[in-house]
Amino acid sequence: METVQSIKQRFGIIGNDKSLNRGIEKSIQVASTDISVLVTGESGVGKEAIPKIIHQLSHRKHGKYIAVNCGAIPEGTIDSELFGHEKGAFTGATQTRSGYFEVADGGTIFLDEVGELPMTTQVRLLRVLENGEFIKVGSSKVQKTNVRIVAATNIKMFEAIKKEKFREDLYYRLSTIEINLPPLRKRKQDIHLLFRKFSSDFAVKYKMPTIRLTEDSIDLLENYSWTGNIRQLRNIAEQISVLESKREINHTTLKSYLPDMGMQLPALVKDKRNNSDFSTEREILYKVLFDMKSDLNDLKKLTLELMENENYQDVQKKNENLIQKIYNDSEDKLKNESKILELTDHIKREDKIEVVAENKKYDFIEDIEEEEETLSLHDKEIELIKKSLLRHSGKRKLAAEELGISERTLYRKIKQYDL
């Protein structure tokens, strides 16, 4: 049985991190089986080494090993690449072609960036995993294949599943065994080892002395974030090896090669509010407006009573009490619904409603602090539609999304209101 140390030497893996060693141990343990394996980790952590280890330690080591970058193949041709196609299946298919699953029969296929597969291809892949069957593009004949599938991805699979970009059943078929490789920033004790290995390799390649780091530059190297992981570290080592005439690299020199070193950039905070949040706010606003409209109807009734009733003072007193009640109720509702304060700021303006009785002896003007314009849902709806269309330069799709209605409904309202 191979040991972790012997595997590292055989495949050129540098480092003593516990998480890395655990990943290699898992690879050794599952290699003798045909279990599907999913390798996860950030881009540049070296995920491609795991499927090679599994293949070379398996009974399939004399079969073919094919690595496929799923993210690099166009969506329109990936089914043909993986499963093959018949002559005339599509434009340009001048002859029958065997896909990777047919060619690798008896061997291993490594599907890198498997999270980028289109949904239709995921269905085909699921069938291969379940019963080893596939159908060429343009064919109706079912073919069998016996391949070991090892997949890798740098995306968060559960988020992709939640967003319906990856099938949940396929995920569980692929991840019978999951091997996670840690990012370089969590392997601080390995960073200098890797840098020395890369520096030595480039010294041989370019026929020049090996570069060395001072103590302060080693500290800088180990505390850098390395968002590009091992791939970025290798790139930095090559740049310094080629460009620097001095072979001893100090803190200042190394810092000049590290992107954004020491810069504290402002964090980008994603707006977590979605369409459902705005829909809720809109519903609350409509409820408040409906309540205010009901109160306004009561006010109108009192106005009519005033016009018909000779007891002007009594009716006027009732009118004033109702106006004050409407104002207080509206204020309480708006205060209790804090989520819509911003949406209702633009409708809090002071207007005057002029009520003129037909009978000249009851002529009067009442100043009230409610705006008649905003109490009309019809007018408000027209105003909101106009503003949204103006903001999006007449693009109905974007306006409909902002208003929380379908594009078809928006088109109907535009026609209805002759906008």
Q: What is the pLDDT of residues 314-337, one digit of tens each?
A: 555 655 666 666 656 655 555 555
Per the CB < 8 A criterion, the answer to whether 381 and 329 are in contact is no
Chain segment 46-102, per-residue pLDDT in tens: 999 999 999 999 999 999 999 999 999 998 899 999 999 999 888 888 899 999 999
Q: Is the pLDDT of residue 310 over 90?
A: no
**Structural domains in the chain, sorted by start:** 4-182 (3.40.50.300), 186-257 (1.10.8.60), 277-416 (no CATH)
| Mean pLDDT, the chain, integer | 82
Q: Which of 228, 267, 194 is nearest to 41 (CA)?
A: 228
Residue 262 pLDDT: 46
Residue 321 pLDDT: 65
Residue 53 pLDDT: 97
Mean pLDDT of 258-274: 53
DSSP letter string over 15-80?
---HHHHHHHHHHHHHTTS---EEEE--TTS-TTHHHHHHHHTSTTTTS-EEEEEGGGS-TTTHHH
Q: How many CB atoms lie within 10 A of CB 103?
A: 14
Residue 374 pLDDT: 45
Residues 6 or more apart in contact with residue 327 via CB below 8 angstroms: 368, 369, 370
